[in-house]
Structure 1
Amino acid sequence: MSHTTVNCITPFLPAKDFDLSLRFYKDLGFIEVAKIDNAVRLEMNGNSFWLQDYYIEEWANNTMLCLYLDDLAAWWKDVKAINIAENYEGKAKVFAEPHGQEGGQMMQIGDPAGVLWHIREGN
């Protein structure tokens, strides 16, 4: 097998309510960089994913992503400012505020479709 440089791996995430999920991610700081008929590519600092207007509950509820940051305290401040509990119709959630785990700091949030994000400080 020949080897080549991998430039990026980009997952596709489900959206039960596409407009609500898109607003959620934009409020977190992701920007829209591409669009096709039923999906948008969202990016932050060169890292991206496709948010698609497609939903299967079992898939959404079993999707987890890890986001690694340099400064979890700054991220938490931004998350608190968008008031997830009230601004996303009760569908997005903060499951765990920043706490120590596995030798570092982490938190968990769920998007409006049920996708779980593990947000960790470090790499």
Structure 2
Amino acid sequence: MELMKLRPFIPSGEDYPLAQRFFEDLGFEKVYSDSGLSIFRLGEQEFFLQNFHNEEFQSNYMVELLVADLDAWWTHIQKNIRDKRYPIKFKEPTLYPWGKREIHLIDPAGVCWHIAESR
């Protein structure tokens, strides 16, 4: 068996256009969009942004994004996301007991992104 790609469906929360802008500002390219679904890509990685809102689900959904340079991502978040007044939360790069250095970012829908250094 050969796996070609895994593309998660990420809920947008109640404001689909806001979520689209957020992910574009985060650095993803929107390669397709309609009223119910958008496809975002960065390099070879993609995800579906689904126009879907369920607060209980969103606040319990997590995604891990492995990156080569965590400090560059932190600088990018500080520079391109922080002052845009998105309803988000984030925590600076931290080394956790499980051995990964991560940024925790809660997106506009409440999804927790673990942005971690790939080792």
| TM-score w.r.t. length of structure 2 | 0.90
SS at 1:109 equivalent: strand
* Residue 42 (structure 1) aligns with: 40
Do the aligned partners of 1:88 and 1:112 also contact (CA within 8 Å) in 2? Answer: no
Unaligned runs of 5+ in 2: none
1:11 to 8, 12, 21: 8
SS at 1:50 equivalent: strand
* C-alpha distance in structure 2 between counterparts of 1:35 and 1:82, whole Å: 22
* C-alpha distance in structure 2 between counterparts of 1:39 and 1:88, whole Å: 24
> CA offset at residue 65 of structure 1?
0.2
> CA offset at residue 87 of structure 1?
1.7
Do the aligned partners of 2:65 and 2:115 also contact (CA within 8 Å) in 1? Answer: yes
* Residue 72 (structure 1) aligns with: 70
Computed over aligned residues only, the root mean square deviation of the Cα atoms, in angstroms, reads: 1.4
* Residue 101 (structure 2) aligns with: 105
> CA offset at residue 83 of structure 1?
3.7
Unaligned runs of 5+ in 1: none
Following superposition, which runs of at least 4 residues in structure 1 exceed 4 angstroms of deviation?
none
* Residue 82 (structure 1) aligns with: 80
SS at 2:49 equivalent: strand
Do the aligned partners of 2:62 and 2:112 also contact (CA within 8 Å) in 1? Answer: yes
* Cα distance change on mapping 1:105 and 1:88 into 2, 3 Å: same
1:21 to 16, 19, 23: 19
* C-alpha distance in structure 2 between counterparts of 1:117 and 1:77, whole Å: 16
- Amino acid paired to 2:3: V
Do the aligned partners of 2:25 and 2:81 also contact (CA within 8 Å) in 1? Answer: no
Q: Could you list the per-position Cα deviations for residues 5-46 of structure 1 after superposition, in whole angstroms to 9, with x for gaps in the alignment?
A: 221111111112111111110001100122344110001111
* Cα distance change on mapping 1:92 and 1:72 into 2, 3 Å: same
Higher-Rg structure is: 1
